Structure 1
């Protein structure tokens, strides 16, 4: 009877532990646009003037062939961002090659895990589409590594090869960033103290004594940064511990016997 009670309690604990894992494995909703429904309609011309955009929110801009177009977006631990860009070209043009580059908060170019970042548009093509799937954002890495870390990421879109007669022609671009939540499969034993955001002030803050201080980025502390010790690996570790306990209880119940000797000696 005692072994049955212990087994029931262990099974109940296993069910409670598996509940958060199932909830965590469900896809998280994509970030939406700003409350007023507006989306960026212009792009910056450098890292310092990059236009901020949210994940799941399309950003558009108009420019000319030869311009550098910059946007920035936040990416957190466990996310695998996918950057897509569509450039609408003028009606008459020659063959030209466009390139999509993504940089982290330290302005290190991040390699694309999937996708073709440079694409060539044929003569008189109406548009060209580019995509770049980054590696999973990690919570910690060696200083010498080039691993993607949580913080601000920059998108740069420009033409890298075209005829002289096509330089300066008007174009329009649309950029969108979406992320897939990888979860504990991409977790590491460590965390970054602060997300990598621009060191140059984007906005200005004010201390209690009235002195001005630089704010690293408008992507602040309340934007959902989840860098820390928790990941769903802890849930599966707990499930493994419960299964080990169940195996131990079952082995004990099978080997301990009835508690009485099978043969009673004479005269006892």
Structure 2
């Protein structure tokens, strides 16, 4: 009975410990509505329009333009980019493509999704999607793994007839992500997320008046977006919880095995006449 009570209490404690981990691994809720969503797109990496995850950004453009947006992705998340291009009533066959780049402007491969699609003549719209690999908190310098920081979305037409050049189109882009949890955790983290300009510091001259505030250094950050709650830097994941649960279960198994094999503790009966 005592062993049963101990095991029951331990299992209850493990259930309470695992509950926060399960809550943390669920996908974050998207903001309700599209109020305040951007209605324009940039034309280069430097002028990319910043969007929050869950927002549906729109932009009016001309066929042949390069459209750029940027968003923030943190470690342990798997971003997904959806794009819809509404085409004019009269047009020839067009092929559209969506590309995603990280903070170092390295093109990131899509795990799956229709990254390139061809709209038939007279089609009203074309939809594209790109599901990236899970963002890692740290990676080898030679690897091309997605890392925390700013990501760029580029939407453009890659197959176009001269007669369609300059026709008006409307583009919609939405970015979401899924929390992968401890399955994507690694032993390491970046010193700083890959945000353009985060490592650019203004120099201090000898008089200490370069910045106008006693020569104190300032970071020239070119991107102001970051995930809700800030950058996690990959130091915590539910892997810690499940590792602790495994250690406790192993200890309970050892205790239970010892209690079952040690016997009652009473001396064996001595046969009469010995």
Give TM-score scaled by structure 1 length. 0.89
Alpha carbons 2:195, 2:221 under 8 Å: kept: no
What residue in structure 2 maps to residue 255 of structure 1?
261
In 2, are the aligned partners of 1:201 and 1:217 still within 8 Å (CA)? no
Q: CA deviation at 1:83?
A: 0.4
When the two structures are superposed, what TM-score results if normalisation uses the length of structure 2? 0.87
Equivalent pair of 2:72/2:150 in contact (CA under 8 Å): yes
Q: 1:127 to 1:153 in 2, by over 3 A?
A: same
> How many Å separate the matches in 2 of 1:137 and 1:120?
29
Query: Equivalents in 2 of 1:97, 1:166: separation in Å?
Result: 12
Q: Check whether the contact 1:69–1:156 (CA below 8 A) recurs between aligned residues.
A: yes
Separation in structure 2 between the aligned mates of residue 66 and residue 139 of structure 1, nearest angstrom: 36
Partner residue in 2 for 1:134 = 132
| Structure 2 gap ranges (5+) | 203-210
The 5 A counterparts of 1:104-115 are: 104-115=102-113
- Is residue 118–residue 126 contact of structure 2 (8 Å, CA) maintained in 1? yes
Unaligned residue ranges in structure 1 (runs of 5+): none
Q: Structure 1 residues 250 and 206, CA, compared in 2 at 3 Å: closer, same or farther? A: farther
Give the alignment partner of residue 239 of structure 2, picking from 233, 236, 245.
Answer: 233
Match of 2:65 in 1: 67
CA distance in 1, matches of 2:262, 2:136: 48
Q: Distance in 2 between matches of 1:206 and 1:89?
A: 51
Distance 1:59 1:195, change over 3 A: same
Alignment-derived partner of residue 165 in structure 1: 163
Select which of 214, 221, 226 maps to 2:220.
214
Q: CA RMSD in A?
A: 2.7
Partner SS, residue 158 of structure 1: strand
> Which of the residues 245, 254, 264 maps onto 2:251?
245
Given that 2:84 and 2:125 are in contact with CA atoms closer than 8 Å, whether structure 1 keeps it comes out as yes
Comparing 7-16 with 249-258, greater Cα deviation is found at: 7-16
Deviation at 1:139, TM superposition (A): 0.6
